[in-house]
Chain A
Amino acid sequence: MFKIILAVIGRDLKLALRRQADIVSALFFFVIVVSLFPLGVGPEPDLLRQLAPGVLWVAALLATMLSLPRLFADDFRDGTLEQLALAPHPLGLVVTGKVIAHWLVSGLPLALIAPVLGIQFDLSAEALAVLTLAILLGTPALSGIGAIGAALTLGLRGGGVLLSLLVLPLYIPVLIFGAGAVDATVSGLGGEGHLSLLIALTFAALGFAPWASAAALKIALE
């Protein structure tokens, strides 16, 4: 079971490293969107501190969205997806591997660069730590939920817009608890409760989403 998940992760990471433009463009998108806010709203430390969690999280959602349409589309176009569906193991495991690989090249870099961007918003060291942790714990859920949308819109023309309409509303809980964790830390309430809920969301998404995506992929392959 783990062998196939590792095989998929290994292949997808190798492909991602040969196509670094995709990773770098999503990361730059994140950096630029986040950096535009301090320039737009002006250098008012109190206001920036208040805006920071929401801005960083919304930018993280959008940056994750950027790479989602390609999650299955490339494999679908060149016939690899058929071969994966015909392999003698459940398709849900293959999708689990793809979701983990997607997180490693999209969510993980966002979490690593978030503290640097947080400095622009005058966040305290403690708030930066919680922000990084929240993005680290919440982004796997984004990849998981996004996989369902990517599978449902596979092969559709203009699927990219439909994908955002499908997926962004489902990202709302992650956004609320992710931004809430940082807010709660800044206001001194402590973000542990929010972080626990984020972990719960991530586990629920990683456990459930691959199988829902696999069902959608089977319909796309008929």
Chain B
Amino acid sequence: MLEADNLECVRGERRLFAGVGFRLAAGELLFLQGRNGAGKTSLLRMLLGLLPPEQGEIRWHGEPIRALADDYRAALCYLGHLNAIKEELTPLENLLAAARLADEELAEDEALDALEQVGLAGREDLACKYLSQGQKRRVALARLVKEKRPLWILDEPFVALDAAAVEWLAKLISGHLQGGGLVVMTTHQPVNIPAGAVRELRLG
């Protein structure tokens, strides 16, 4: 259960938003909407604990995330604008390194299976610098396939994906929701995510 109360965000001299709050239970999806510059990414960074809110509080299962620190971070998985993959490493190495650094168990055959699901079979051993934008995005998305953490925070996950991949990702997200997970995401594309309760929050 993720709760936010009366959040206020000030960047530089400007106040982006104030009085934002929501409550998200297991199996629910929160769509963050708003024009460019409304503060969607800033709100996501607050939920991640990277950006301290000017005012207000974020709680995970009733406890403030500041106090939970590592325990909260162990429950969340974040996919940002940036792919967080290393150009010099192969998709397989990237996936295994990311899991090890995030303190997650991921066996090599699980990683290979995840790459196959995102359509990168046969490219596991090619350095990522030789992949296209969309393929790099798929390497980043492959992390979600075996992800068991309950809270997913996704910033524009559909960018650079083709139609088939958008549909695949929507299915993956709805599968996660059906398994009792929580998802907070922003997107400018109209995407239909089957099943699960969908909440919307409009900023600005």
Chain A residues within 8 Å of B, Cβ to Cβ = 3-4, 7-8, 10-11, 14-15, 18-19, 77-80, 82-90, 94, 218, 221-222
Contacts and interface: CB of A to CB of B under 8 A. Distances in A.
B89 A15 contact: yes
A218 B93 CA distance: 26
Nearest to B82: A79
Given A82-B50, A82-B80, A83-B78, A88 B86 contact: no
Contacts of A15: 86, 88-89
A14 B87 CA distance: 12
A96 to B, nearest CB: 13
A88 B103 contact: yes
Interface string B153-166: 00000000000000
Given A11-B100, A79-B80, 11 more contacts: A7-B97, A8-B101, A18-B89, A77-B82, A80-B85, A80-B86, A83-B102, A86-B73, A88-B71, A94-B101, A221-B50
Interface in B54-88: 70-71, 73-74, 76, 78, 80-88
Contacts of A87: 73, 101-103
Interface in B76-124: 76, 78, 80-89, 93, 97-98, 100-103
Contacts of B127: 18
Given A83-B98, A86-B50, A87-B73, A78 B103 contact: no
A80 B103 CA distance: 14
Contacts of A77: 82
Given A15-B86, A89-B70, A221-B50, A82 B78 contact: yes
Interface of B: 45, 48-52, 70-71, 73-74, 76, 78, 80-89, 93, 97-98, 100-103, 127
A14 B94 CA distance: 11
B85 A78 contact: yes
> From DSSP, what is the main secondary structure of chain B's interface residues?
loop
A82 B52 CA distance: 15
A3 B99 CA distance: 12
A4 B101 contact: yes
A88 B89 contact: no
B81 A79 contact: yes
Contacts of B48: 86
A80 B84 contact: yes
Contacts of B102: 83, 86-88
B82 A78 contact: yes
B68 to A, nearest CB: 10
B127 to A, nearest CB: 8
Nearest to B73: A88
Contact of A88 (B74, B81, B84): B74
Contacts of B81: 79
Contacts of A8: 101
Q: Which 7 interchain pairs have the tightest Cβ spacing?
A: A79-B82, A88-B74, A79-B84, A18-B88, A88-B73, A7-B100, A88-B70
B137 to A, nearest CB: 12
Nearest to A218: B50
Contacts of B70: 88-90
Contacts of B76: 86
Contacts of A79: 80-84
Contacts of A83: 78, 84, 98, 101-102
B200 to A, nearest CB: 25
B138 to A, nearest CB: 15
B66 to A, nearest CB: 13
